[in-house]
Amino acid sequence: MKQAVILAAGEGQRLRPFTVNKPKVMISIAGKPVLQYVVEALVKGGIHYIVIVVGYRREQIFDYFGNGERFDANIVYITQERQLGTAHALAQVKDAVESEFLVLPGDNLIEVNTIASFINVKPTTVLVKKIINPIRYGVVNTEGDFVKEVIEKPEDASKDISTVNTGIYAFNSGIFNFINDNLGIPDVINNMIGQNYTVSAQETDGTWLDIVYPWDILELNDIVLPWLPSDLGGTIETGAFIKGKVLVGKNTVIRSNSYIRGPVVIGENCDIGPNIHIMPATSIGNNVVISAFSEIKNSVISDDVSIEANSIVQDSVIDKGCVIKGHFSACSDQTEIKVNDEYYSVNVGTMLGVGCWLGNNVVAQPGAIVGNYSRINSMKLISGRLPDKSIVM
């Protein structure tokens, strides 16, 4: 395989508020968009020619990846004007690919080991993985090394270990003859099998996780952080204590009596402390201020965020440009969150969209989701889901 197609056109409505202003493939995990991990895995595996199918807020992908040169890749873009499904997206690249190519989802976290051997398989092959509780995936029924059927999100799926479809495929140009009016690639696979076409399955035990719900950001972040090197850029003041794998960007100041326990990544031009505690599985973006006597644990904090003194942030995601005044509390606990018409029991703190402003002494109950550009006045208790541009007086 010398070329790959990455499907990156979707919005990701279940990830709101984080996808109102950006496509889901551009959600940052440990300081990099999810899509960048896919591109880097392909390049490390020897695939440099990459076609990215874009759609929703595609200009952000253009601006970040450009022609791919800084990633040692040659990237071209094909637009899916209407997001009608993965097979419809694939159909758009018919004239942009040669005889054999990989297809990968742009919103999945993978590393090079996941696809290292898959790059050498013969089409048509599906990369599968065994997981527990496959209800949100497509279950792949196999016979030996061959696919017999793909069942999308089966309602009666067992919570035992099942083989699921990773959404990573090896195809040749013959795939386009089977798409027809199918909207999803699993439907195309079933169509091929129904016409006695052989579809193989190859199993991986490498890293593969998709990002579907807001709390998935925390899980992916926890997995990626140990991959990063330790590098203490910037200024570490006397009395600051750093333990474990910690990456600190240039021009960042870690002030005295701060305690940071990795894995943790802190971006550039940040002002951290003094007397703060940053615990494992935390990612902090660029131009972030975290003031004295605050505690951050297992959280993702994006660029240009300010968190004032005596705040607690646990198991939370805070998007770009949020201003949080002092004595903010976002403690985590097991809670039930509704997404569309489904309920999920998760251990989580709070989720803040882009550009939120929170006054002093705000308390966010576990599972609170605050829409973009919301304003929460001082001394308020917030819970549930608040829409974009909410004002809590």
Please indicate, yes or no, if residue 225 is contained in any of the structural domains. no
* CA–CA separation, 200 and 213 (whole Å): 30
**242 shares a domain with 171:** no
Q: What is the pLDDT of residue 183?
A: 80
* CA–CA separation, 169 and 108 (whole Å): 13
Q: What is the pLDDT of residue 358?
A: 98
Q: How far, rounded to the nearest angstrom, does the alpha carbon of residue 98 sit from its chain's CA centroid?
A: 29
Please indicate, yes or no, if residue 217 is contained in any of the structural domains. no
Q: What is the pLDDT of residue 188?
A: 92
In this prediction, residue 138 has a pLDDT band, given cuts at 50, 70 and 90, of: confident
SS3 112: helix
In this prediction, residue 360 has a pLDDT band, given cuts at 50, 70 and 90, of: very high
SS3 39: helix
The torsion region of residue 321 among left (phi > 0), alpha (psi -120 to 50) and beta comes to left
**122 shares a domain with 262:** no
Terminal CA-CA length for the chain: 58
Tell me which residue of 54, 47, 65 sits closest to 93, measured CA to CA.
54
Domain boundary among 181, 212, 243: 212
Please indicate, yes or no, if residue 132 is contained in any of the structural domains. yes
pLDDT at 293 over 90: yes
Give the percent of the chain with pLDDT over 70: 97
pLDDT at 329 over 70: yes
Q: Write the pLDDT tens digit of every residue in 213-241.
A: 999 999 999 999 988 888 898 899 999 99
CATH of the domain at 334: 2.160.10.10
Least confident of 156-170, 179-193, 287-301, 360-374: 156-170
Please indicate, yes or no, if residue 222 is contained in any of the structural domains. no
Contacts 24+ apart (CB under 8 A), 240-243: 240/273
**290 shares a domain with 146:** no
Joined together, the tokens standing for residue 74 give 């040659």
Least confident of 157-161, 186-190, 248-252: 157-161
Inter-residue contact 54 to 9 (CB < 8 Å):
yes
**265 shares a domain with 172:** no
Segment 193-218 mean pLDDT: 89
In this prediction, residue 117 has a pLDDT band, given cuts at 50, 70 and 90, of: confident
Q: What is the pLDDT of residue 157?
A: 55
Number of structural domains (the chain) is: 2
pLDDT at 199 over 80: yes
**136 shares a domain with 72:** yes
CATH of the domain at 161: 3.90.550.10
Q: Would you state the torsion angle of the CA atoms of residues 208, 212, 217, 221, taken in this order, to the nearest 10 degrees?
A: 0
Please indicate, yes or no, if residue 219 is contained in any of the structural domains. no
**370 shares a domain with 241:** yes
**252 shares a domain with 195:** no
In this prediction, residue 134 has a pLDDT band, given cuts at 50, 70 and 90, of: low
In this prediction, residue 357 has a pLDDT band, given cuts at 50, 70 and 90, of: very high
Please indicate, yes or no, if residue 218 is contained in any of the structural domains. no
Segment 114-140 mean pLDDT: 84
**242 shares a domain with 172:** no
**254 shares a domain with 189:** no
Domain residue limits at 153: 3-212
Please indicate, yes or no, if residue 49 is contained in any of the structural domains. yes
pTM: 0.89
In this prediction, residue 6 has a pLDDT band, given cuts at 50, 70 and 90, of: very high
Tell me which residue of 17, 38, 32 sits closest to 303, measured CA to CA.
32
Least confident of 104-108, 251-255, 318-322: 104-108
**35 shares a domain with 101:** yes
In this prediction, residue 67 has a pLDDT band, given cuts at 50, 70 and 90, of: very high
Please indicate, yes or no, if residue 280 is contained in any of the structural domains. yes
Q: How many CA atoms lie within 13 A of 218 on its CB side?
A: 20
Give the percent of the chain with pLDDT over 90: 66
* CA–CA separation, 84 and 182 (whole Å): 10
**274 shares a domain with 165:** no
Least confident of 9-18, 136-145, 189-198, 349-358: 136-145
**361 shares a domain with 256:** yes
Q: What is the pLDDT of residue 156?
A: 60
Q: Write the pLDDT tens digit of every residue in 304-313.
A: 999 999 999 9
